Amino acid sequence: MLKKLLPAVAAACLLLLYATAASAHEHRTVHGYTFVVGFIQEPAFEGLLNAVSVRITKSPDSEGHGMTAESASEETKEEDKSGGMSMSMSGHGHGGAAVEGLESTLVVEVTHVPSGIGREMPLAIVRDDPGHYTAYFIPTATGQYTFRFIGTIEGTQIDETFESGPGRFADIEPATPLQFPESAASGRELESAVRGALESAQSAEDHALNAIDDANSVREEASAANTLAIAGIAVGALGIIVGAVGLVAALRRRTQ
C-alpha cells in the first residue's frame, strides 16, 4: 500500500514545488497569449548560474472556449498514467495550449536596471516541457532586471517588457548569505579592488614622472647657471686682459 502511495506523494510534492516557483513569476496576457515570466531559480543570487524563464500558452479566451469536461477527463487520465503529473503541464492551470517553436522567432533582451547594461539573448526550448523557454546567464550584479521579449508569436508582433520586483519576480540578491565557511569577494568587489590598485599604480607612475620632470628641470637650470658662470668668468678674464693691455700702453707713452 505504501509503495502505491509513494508515486502520488512524489507527484504532489513536485506540483507543490512548481506552484511555489510559478507564484513568484509574473503572469500577463499579451495579444491573446499568456506569459509566465521570471528567473528559473528563485530566490535568485549574484554570481550563480540562472536563466530567464518564460512559459507561453494560448489564453483560453483566445481559443474561443475553455477546457471541456472531455478534455479535462483526458488530461486527468494522462496525469494518472504519469503518476499524477502531466509532463506537458498543458498550460499549467491556465487551460491554454503550449505555444511551441518560438526559439526561432522570439528573443529576450536582459537589462540590469541600475547600470543600464543590456544584452540580447536567444531562447532555448526546455526538453519535455512544451511552451517553456529559457536563456541561461550568470547575473554578476545585484538589483533589478528587466526581460524584454522581442519577435513574433505565430505571426503576431511581440515587444513586451517584464520587470523584476515585489509582486512580479525576484530581484538578484547578494550571495553572501549562502557562502560558507568564509564569504568570498563578489565580482564587483574584485573589480573595484583591481580598479583601485590600477588607479594607485597610475598615480604612483604620475608622481614618478613628475619627479623626473622636476629633476630634469633642475638639471637644466643648473646647466644654464653653469654656462652663465663660465661666460662671466670669460668676460672677466677678457676685461683683465684689456685692462692690462691698456696699462702697458700707458706706461710706454710715459717713458717716451
Structurally, how many domains does the chain consist of?
1
Residue 234 within any structural domain of the chain: no
Residue 111 within any structural domain of the chain: yes
- Short-list 20, 29, 55, CA closest to 170: 20
Cα end-to-end distance, the chain, whole Å? 155
Q: Between β-strands 156-163 and 145-153, what pairing exists: parallel, antiparallel or unpaired?
A: antiparallel
Residue 57 within any structural domain of the chain: yes
Confidence of residue 86 (pLDDT cuts 50, 70, 90): very low
Confidence of residue 201 (pLDDT cuts 50, 70, 90): confident
Confidence of residue 206 (pLDDT cuts 50, 70, 90): confident
> In this predicted model, which residue has the larger pLDDT, 201 or 98?
98
Q: Is the pLDDT at 255 greater than 90, yes or no?
A: no
Question: What residue numbers bound the domain in which 124 lies?
Answer: 21-180
Mean pLDDT for all residues in the chain: 79
Cell of 67: 477546457
Q: Is the pLDDT at 67 greater than 80, yes or no?
A: no
CATH number of domain containing 45: 2.60.40.10
pLDDT of residue 193: 67
> In this predicted model, which residue has the larger pLDDT, 37 or 185?
37
Residue 202 within any structural domain of the chain: no
Q: Is the pLDDT at 249 greater than 80, yes or no?
A: no
Residue 242 within any structural domain of the chain: no
Q: Between β-strands 172-173 and 44-45, what pairing exists: parallel, antiparallel or unpaired?
A: parallel
Please identify which residue in the block is written with the cell numbers 549574484: 46
Q: Rounded distance, CA 202 to CA 183, Å?
A: 30
Q: Rounded distance, CA 6 to CA 114, Å?
A: 47
Q: Is the four-CA dihedral 218, 220, 224, 226 of positive or negative sign?
A: positive
Give the Cα-Cα-Cα angle 148, 178, 40 (nearest 5 degrees): 30
Residue 187 within any structural domain of the chain: no
Residue 244 within any structural domain of the chain: no
pLDDT of residue 123: 98
Q: Is the pLDDT at 82 greater than 60, yes or no?
A: no
Residue 201 within any structural domain of the chain: no
Confidence of residue 49 (pLDDT cuts 50, 70, 90): very high
CA dist 103 to 11, 82, 99, 149, 175, Å? 29, 27, 11, 11, 31
